[in-house]
Every structure is written in structure tokens, then in C-alpha cells.
């Protein structure tokens, strides 16, 4: 009930970045060559990245992947590597890749620092009323599975990557979340709180 009420509150404050998500239909079989030739070096052939600064894509929502690849291609989301990698992708390539990675099975992650993860759990589940930070679980779900077509999966994601993205949102180096929700929230988090949340979600399953 608490998360439901919090989500309703957030809906009145922000526009969901994926509320008008593109058609996410695609053919995963047609993505296999692209995955093998382009994506697997950083994200793994099955979408389970072994590099802490590269995100795991296995099990991520199709709509989220489509939006991120589209934003990289257009330059709306800036990353020198991904801007180059997506430059030649067609809309069908993007849909096919999204379909492929969304069907892969994510491997469970493990939080490396239990003390830091415990601090992150409090913020993830309850937010920080003093600084106006809502519970992360309100949008990303109690298990970090996300809400398809609205909010991305975080469970098992590398803590280093999650922290880097939170910091990018805080510094306005990443501004492609539509309703500016993450920019606002990240600017209310301390550096230590961001690291704590990132550590906690890395162990969610």
C-alpha cells in the first residue's frame, strides 16, 4: 500500500519517461549476428556483462532498451562508445536487439559490502523524507524488477554502473529520462547515499 501511494504521488509530480514508449515488437533471432559482432564484447553474448562499468541487459524491458538505443543514436544520451555503436542501427535493428536482450536470463548479483547495502536498502524501500527522496521501490519495484514500459529493471545491475548513472543524472550529464525525475531525485541524494543504493540494488534478485 505504501509503495502504491508513493507511485501515485510520483505520477502527479513527474511524467514517466516511457509513458509513450515506442512499439517494442522485434525478432530476437534477427539480432543474433549484431549481438555476436557488436554487443557481446561489452554486454556479454547473453546480456550478462562481466565488466562493472558496462550494464547488464539481460531481462531488461524492451521499451527501455529501445529508448536508450534510440537516444544514443540521436545523441540525446551522450556516450562516445554507444553513440558510435548505434549510428548505423536501423529502427528494426534496435527493436530486434531489445527483443533479444529482454528474453535473456539475468544472472543474480551479489552486494559486496553488506553494511553499505543495508544503508541503501533503507533508501530504496523508504526513501529519505528529510531530503525529499522517494522510495526507489515505488517505481523500480521491491525486487528491482522495474515496471515494463515505464521504469527499468535494476536488480543485479553492477553497482559501479548504477552509481555512475546516478552521478550523471545529478551532474546533468544524462538528461534523457523524459520527466526529469532522476535528475531531481539524484540532486537530493548525497554521494554516499548514491553509492549505498547502487550497492543494494546490485544484490537484488
How do the pLDDT tens digits run along the chain, 205 residues long? 444 434 444 444 444 444 444 567 999 999 999 999 999 999 999 999 999 999 999 999 999 999 999 999 999 999 999 999 999 999 999 999 999 999 999 999 999 999 999 999 999 999 999 999 999 999 999 999 999 889 999 999 999 999 999 999 999 999 999 789 999 999 999 999 999 999 999 999 9
In angstroms, the CA 198 to CA 162 distance is 5
- The DSSP secondary-structure symbol of 44 reads -
At 14 the pLDDT is 45
In this structure, what are the phi and psi dihedrals at residue 62, rounded to the nearest 5 degrees? -60, -45
In angstroms, the CA 198 to CA 124 distance is 9
Return the ∠ at Cα 110 (arms to 166 and 194), rounded to 5°.
20
The reported pTM is 0.89
Nearest to 98 by CA among 125, 123, 73: 73
In angstroms, the CA 180 to CA 122 distance is 23
CB 105 within 8 A of CB 57: no
Grid cell locating 9:
504521488
Grid cell locating 118:
543495508
At 34 the pLDDT is 98
At 183 the pLDDT is 96
Return the ∠ at Cα 50 (arms to 46 and 51), rounded to 5°.
125
Distances, alpha carbon 136 to alpha carbons 69, 111, 144, 161, in Å: 24, 17, 9, 17
- The DSSP secondary-structure symbol of 189 reads S
At 7 the pLDDT is 44
The interaxial angle of helices 62-74 and 91-103, nearest 10 deg, is 140
| SS3 state at 124 | helix
Domains detected in the chain: 2-16+109-202 (1.10.760.10), 28-103 (1.10.760.10)
Amino acid at each position: 500500500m505504501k509503495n502504491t501511494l508513493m507511485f501515485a504521488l510520483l505520477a502527479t509530480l513527474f511524467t514517466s519517461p516511457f509513458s509513450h514508449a515506442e512499439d517494442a515488437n522485434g525478432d530476437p533471432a534477427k539480432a543474433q549476428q549484431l549481438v555476436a559482432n557488436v554487443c557481446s564484447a561489452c554486454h556479454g553474448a547473453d546480456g550478462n556483462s562481466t565488466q562493472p562499468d558496462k550494464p547488464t541487459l539481460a531481462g531488461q524491458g524492451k521499451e527501455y532498451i529501445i529508448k536508450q538505443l534510440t537516444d544514443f543514436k540521436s545523441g540525446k544520451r551522450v556516450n562516445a562508445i554507444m553513440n558510435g555503436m548505434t549510428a548505423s542501427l536501423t529502427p528494426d535493428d534496435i527493436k530486434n536487439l531489445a527483443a533479444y536482450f529482454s528474453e535473456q536470463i539475468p544472472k543474480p548479483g551479489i552486494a559486496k559490502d553488506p553494511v553499505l547495502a543495508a544503508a541503501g536498502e533503507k533508501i530504496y524501500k523508504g526513501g529519505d523524507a528529510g531530503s525529499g527522496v522517494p522510495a526507489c521501490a515505488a517505481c523500480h519495484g521491491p525486487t528491482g524488477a522495474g515496471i515494463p514500459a515505464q521504469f527499468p529493471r535494476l536488480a543485479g545491475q553492477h553497482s559501479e554502473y548504477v552509481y555512475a548513472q546516478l552521478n550523471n543524472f545529478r551532474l546533468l550529464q544524462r538528461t534523457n529520462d523524459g520527466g526529469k525525475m532522476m535528475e531531481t531525485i539524484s540532486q537530493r541524494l548525497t554521494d554516499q547515499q548514491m553509492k549505498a543504493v547502487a550497492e543494494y540494488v546490485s544484490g537484488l534478485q
